[in-house]
Structure 1
């Protein structure tokens, strides 16, 4: 993926709730890979999970909808998301 891919965005989302120790990062990685996104899901010291995902706007929207759904492991109380221009610093999708 290159910086000039038309329609690509970079999502930064903080997921609040009971989302650590329940397979949430693995689940997020699986959804992102199915959608062809690159990025990572990382536990935060305060109990949130940070999700950074980059790719086509439509695929990122599907991921955000999945993060907000009742299908996630654990319990999601809130997803705080923001969007930026894509960067070329991500490859694959990993759990951190």
Structure 2
């Protein structure tokens, strides 16, 4: 895993925390606390790192409650800039 991917995951997580009211009101999925975003890394392309992750009130994941928010962030290949592509209610996911 590259330093850029680690930086990208941190940027995406912090951006979601800020957008959703801070850590006192919001907690991202546990995968965003793993190195490089773990399973929250949806794509690694020349366009950059795309993270898709769920979130909710603090403790939602540990208590096995449903997520209330979904965030998708595209971070540049160097991990230094980002664009929020979606931040809102959890959307249905298509079947694989």
Larger strand share, 1 or 2: 1
Same fold (TM over 0.5): no
Larger helix share, 1 or 2: 2
- State the TM-score, normalized to the length of structure 2: 0.33
